[in-house]
Amino acid sequence: MASITLKDVVKRYGIGPKANQVIHGVSAEIADGEFIVIVGPSGCGKSTLLRMVAGLEEISGGDIAIGGRVVNDVEPSERDIAMVFQNYALYPHMSVFDNMAYGLKIAKVPEAEIKTRVDKAAGILQLGPLLQRKPRELSGGQRQRVAMGRAIVRQPQVFLFDEPLSNLDAKLRGQTRIEIRKLHAELGVTSLFVTHDQVEAMTLAQRMIVMNAGRMEQFATPDEVYARPATTFVASFIGSPPMNLLTGQANGASFTLDGQTVPLPAPAPRNGELTLGLRPEHVVAGGSGGWPLKVELIEMLGAERLVHGQLGSHAFTLRMDGMLTPPAVSSTVQLQLSAQHLHWFDVATGVRVE
């Protein structure tokens, strides 16, 4: 059983009144075999959270349990985990083979078994011809695979990935992403993957933890996070181009934005000040009686166009298919909204309102 349980996990630097709290009570239940991505902007605490699970950072409050066992005071070497670092952390003075065999040697695994496991991992990751080379003779992508191979041979309860794709070029990143998915399908080991890239998060995660400033804002499947973001932060972080957020007064089936009242296809969940979220891909330009958008700038991206304009004093972006005729710059188009794609958020807290 390699579930992971985070219960009110807190991280503080320093002690006493001047202590700096960077993680504020994160709780999550991760089932055996799940591939979980922790995603958020730089400095949100995602790496710190991962390192606490690894045992590389002390836990200031709350509990972390791996496979049902609370590991707060357990050394990293005893947690039966494996980690892939952002800069690979390969032992420079050892060959690829020895790098992968290191952990097994320490665990006193018999030599024959070591060879079997390393060869198997090398096979999966296509490292066979590189086994006797030193890390400095390998390319970035190759080093990455060695780092993963080192994790695989340990056959641990949990895999931890700390932004492993950040140092690769774009093409390699895409390829490696797919390899990681295949690996997970084959090995089925519980995995925690940290990244700041929302595309990686959306494509790799079975469920994802979206973090912001030390808080977990949402823990759900990619579909859920996309279709029903829990906060304005999640709403604007996931999805590209980001969701348009408009703050105004809701009154039944109409919405007042900068003094202009426009109709809603469905009534707001409550009256009063609310933030309305509309994804660029869920708004259509055309027709009449919609929301008047003053077109300022159009970006041509081949398969699609991004139309940037002003809705009152709010900037607004809408996405349209590349084959359709775009509106003229400085013209005003009517935006048609869809009832299923309205997102409402409380203005003060940013929390979703149903």
Can you give the binding site for other proteins, defined by CB under 8 A? 54-56, 58, 75-78, 81-83, 85-87, 89-93, 102-103, 106-107, 136, 150, 154
Nearer to other proteins, 92 or 302 (CB): 92
Q: What is the DSSP letter of 106?
A: H
Report the nearest approach of other proteins to the CB of residue 148 (Å): 13
- Give residue 248's identity as a one-letter amino acid code: G
Asked if 335 and 309 touch (Cβ cutoff 8 Å), the reply is no
Nearer to other proteins, 55 or 214 (CB): 55
Report the nearest approach of other proteins to the CB of residue 135 (Å): 8
CA gap 162, 246 in Å, rounded: 35
Nearer to other proteins, 138 or 333 (CB): 138
Structure-block tokens of residue 308? 């940037």
Report the nearest approach of other proteins to the CB of residue 149 (Å): 13
Nearer to other proteins, 102 or 226 (CB): 102
CA dist 343 to 74, 213, 221, 274, 346, Å?
A: 44, 23, 18, 10, 10
Nearer to other proteins, 54 or 285 (CB): 54
- Tracing tokens 């604007």 back to the chain, one arrives at 236
Report the nearest approach of other proteins to the CB of residue 192 (Å): 13
- Tracing tokens 């009570």 back to the chain, one arrives at 25
Kindly state the helix (H) or strand (E) to which residue 183 belongs, with its residue range. helix 170-187
CA gap 307, 232 in Å, rounded: 22
Residue whose C-alpha is closest to residue 65's, from 150, 158, 184: 158
Residue whose C-alpha is closest to residue 32's, from 151, 190, 206, 155: 190
Nearer to other proteins, 78 or 223 (CB): 78
60's CB contacts (< 8 A; 6+ apart) are 10, 11, 12, 21
Q: Which region holds residue 200: left if phi is over 0, alpha if psi is between -120 and 50, else beta?
A: alpha
Nearer to other proteins, 87 or 261 (CB): 87
- Give residue 166's identity as a one-letter amino acid code: S
Report the nearest approach of other proteins to the CB of residue 264 (Å): 52
Report the nearest approach of other proteins to the CB of residue 151 (Å): 9
Report the nearest approach of other proteins to the CB of residue 106 (Å): 4
